[in-house]
Amino acid sequence: MSGETGRRGVLDDVRVADFSRVLAGPYATMALADFGADVLKIESPSGDDTRHWHPPIDADGTATYFGSVNRNKRSVALDLTRDSDRDQALRLAGTADVLIENFRPGVMERFGLGFHAVRAVNPGIVYCSITGFGTGAGASLAGYDLLVQAVGGLMSITGDPEGSAAKAGVALVDVLCGQNAVAGILLALRERDRTGLGQRVEINLLQSLLSALTNQAASTLATGIPPRRLGNEHPSIAPYALFRAADRELVIAVGNDKQFRALAEALGQSPLATDPCFLRNTDRVAHRDELTALLEHELARADAADWVERFRAAGIPAGLVHDVAEAIAFADGLGLDPVVDLGASRTIANPIRLGDAPAAYRTPPPALNDSASAAWHTERP
DSSP-assigned states of every residue in 311-356: HHHTT--EEE---HHHHHHHHHHTT---EEEETTEEEEPPS---SS
Question: Within a domain: residue 32?
Answer: yes
Q: Are residues 181 and 259 in the same domain?
A: no
Q: Are residues 142 and 255 in the same domain?
A: no
Q: Are residues 192 and 49 in the same domain?
A: yes
Strand residues in the chain grouped as ranges (E): 15-18, 38-43, 73-77, 98-101, 126-131, 200-204, 240-244, 249-253, 318-320, 339-342, 345-348
Residues in the chain with pLDDT values less than 70: 1-7, 371-381
Question: Within a domain: residue 180?
Answer: yes
Q: Are residues 154 and 288 in the same domain?
A: no
Q: Is the peptide bond before 56 cis (omega within 30 degrees of 0)?
A: yes
For the CA atoms of 162, 166, 169, 172, what is the dihedral angle to 10 degrees? 130
Residue 343 identity: G
pLDDT at 4: 53
Q: Are residues 310 and 361 in the same domain?
A: no
pLDDT at 345: 87
Q: pTM for the whole thing?
A: 0.92
Question: Within a domain: residue 336?
Answer: no
Catalytic hit among 174, 257, 283, 332: 174
Question: Within a domain: residue 381?
Answer: no
Q: Are residues 370 and 275 in the same domain?
A: no
Question: Within a domain: residue 262?
Answer: yes
Question: Within a domain: residue 294?
Answer: yes
pLDDT at 237: 95
pLDDT at 371: 64
pLDDT at 370: 87
pLDDT at 8: 75
Q: Which domain holds residue 119?
A: 15-213+353-375
Question: Within a domain: residue 6?
Answer: no
> Rounded to whole angstroms, how far apart are CA atoms 354 and 95?
28
pLDDT at 378: 59
Whole-number Cα distances in Å, 251 to 238, 297, 335: 12, 15, 22
Question: Within a domain: residue 103?
Answer: yes
pLDDT at 381: 45
Q: Are residues 58 and 121 in the same domain?
A: yes
Report residue 308 CA to chain centroid gap: 28
Instruction: Give how many domains the chain has, as a whole number.
Output: 2
Q: Are residues 88 and 200 in the same domain?
A: yes
Phi (first) and psi of residue 359, to 5 degrees: -60, 150
Residue 18: strand pairing partners: 41, 100
Q: Are residues 313 and 367 in the same domain?
A: no
Catalytic residue check, 48: no
